DNA sequence: TATATTTACATAACCAGTTATGTAAATATG
DNA sequence: CATATTTACATAACTGGTTATGTAAATATA
């Protein structure tokens, strides 16, 4: 399949991201941590702001709002997040880190820092791929896969 | 989150691959095609060999064997693949393209070719990313995310 | 040749997202 | 000020993979 670089691109991205994801799950299990992959994205946001809403989290970590609800509910269930209703707008959940979360954060930070080192290593300290991913994301935002492909089909 | 390039890398790969995946689904639906994303990987293999087994497909398209079973079962249900049992080894399914598949293939090839053009466009004709993905895959194969991260944790 | 191991495929349970849709509260509009 | 629209969150159904485990057939070994 090596000759079909473009046609295998999407599946390849999924395979790599899956491999890192399952690796992280496995790591947390080995370390007896109650966290899951990608929760660190939420924790990172709380470094800059101590109250966040579902919508804010979704916008910032670029995961859909129902996706964020699932993450937040799991984090609540493990006592890492607590919520109170906004007094001025009862639709809004004001989310905060719990005492447990704050207490565990230094330990978790160490694990994420080690994970960051791994990614650096895997990328061989070459940051070019970030620019390339930027370009891809921007190009998709401009016109997505379906629209572009329909145009190519039309133009033969 | 822009400052956390490494920590957001995995989620980013998933997001891009998801976006391309859902785009392809949407495209096929619009074109009233009964195929699904990644089936083209299987079709591509049949260009070189007219009989394949589940295991062979899994090895070549680098999807797990249960994953391939799901794809193959769906392709059978849509009458794109047929199977007969190997007479010498009754565990083995010998898979072949159906008449319908062969008949539709020229049309499908056009769609995949257009999709290939889109990926080229999104990558801005820059093939560097393929080499970078190679490196990442090789590095993971050498030592995976979990093992590497445990070492980094240990070494402080 | 009986038993242990390996192989090929099948099934179950899970995973972390997605889209589509619903509900209730807040805001904008006629 | 009543109604329409928008917003924030919730829920359902689905996606395309994954890992773990099971089963039956084939092969290797004692």
Closest Cα in chain B to A154: B114
The rounded Cα A119 to chain-centroid distance in angstroms is 14
ipTM score: 0.93
- Element holding A108 (H helix, E strand): helix A99-122
Q: Provide, as residue numbers in chain A, all residues whose Cβ is less than 8 Å from the Cβ of B49.
A: none
The answer to whether some atom of strand C lies closer than 7 Å to the beta carbon of A72 is: no
What tens digit of pLDDT does each residue of B112-154 get?
999 999 999 999 989 999 999 999 999 999 999 999 999 999 9
| pLDDT per position as a tens digit, A107-145 | 999 999 999 999 999 999 899 999 999 999 999 999 999
The answer to whether strand D lies under 7 Å from the CB of residue A45 is: no
Which is it for the CA torsion A140, A146, A149, A154, positive or negative?
negative
Q: CB–CB of A24/A41 below 8 Å?
A: no
Nucleotide nearest to A90 (CA to C1'): C25
Residues 6+ apart with CB under 8 A from A122: B135, B136, B139, B140, B145, B148
For chain A, which residues make up each domain, given as ranges?
A: 9-125, 126-156
pLDDT at A26 over 90: yes
- Put simply, whether B49 touches A (Cβ < 8 Å) is no
Query: Is B77 touching A (CB cutoff 8 A)?
Result: no
Pairing of strands A93-97, B93-97: unpaired
List, in sequence order, the alpha helices (H) in B6-127. Answer: 9-30, 39-45, 54-61, 65-77, 99-122
Is A17 in Cβ contact with B152 (below 8 Å)? no
Distance B28 CA to D16 C1' (A): 16
The pLDDT tens digits for A27-48 are 999 999 999 999 999 999 999 9
β-partners of residue B85 are B93
- Span B84-118, pLDDT tens digits: 999 999 999 999 999 999 999 999 999 999 999 99
The answer to whether strand D lies under 7 Å from the CB of residue A69 is: yes
CATH of B9-125, one of 1.10.3720.10, 1.20.120.1770, 1.10.260.40, 1.10.10.10: 1.10.10.10
pLDDT at B68 over 90: yes
What is the distance in angstroms measured between the alpha-carbon CA of A121 and the sugar C1' of D28?
Answer: 43
- What is the spatial distance between Cα B46 and Cα A51, in angstroms, rounded to a whole number? 55
């Amino acid at each position: 399949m090596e000759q079909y670089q473009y046609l295998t691109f999407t599946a390849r991205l999924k395979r790599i991201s899956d491999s890192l994801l399952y690796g992280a799950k496995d790591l947390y299990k080995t370390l007896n941590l109650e966290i899951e992959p990608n929760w660190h994205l939420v924790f990172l946001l709380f470094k800059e702001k101590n109250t966040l809403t579902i919508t804010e989290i979704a916008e910032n970590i670029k995961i859909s709002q129902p996706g964020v609800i699932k993450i937040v509910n799991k984090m609540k269930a493990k006592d890492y997040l607590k919520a109170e209703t906004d007094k001025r707008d009862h639709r809004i959940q004001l989310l905060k880190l719990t005492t447990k979360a704050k207490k565990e954060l230094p330990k978790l930070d160490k694990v994420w820092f080690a994970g960051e080192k791994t990614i650096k290593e895997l990328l061989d300290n070459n940051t070019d791929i970030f620019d390339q991913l930027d370009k891809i994301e921007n190009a998709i935002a401009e016109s997505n896969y379906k629209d572009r492909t329909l145009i190519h089909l039309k133009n033969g």
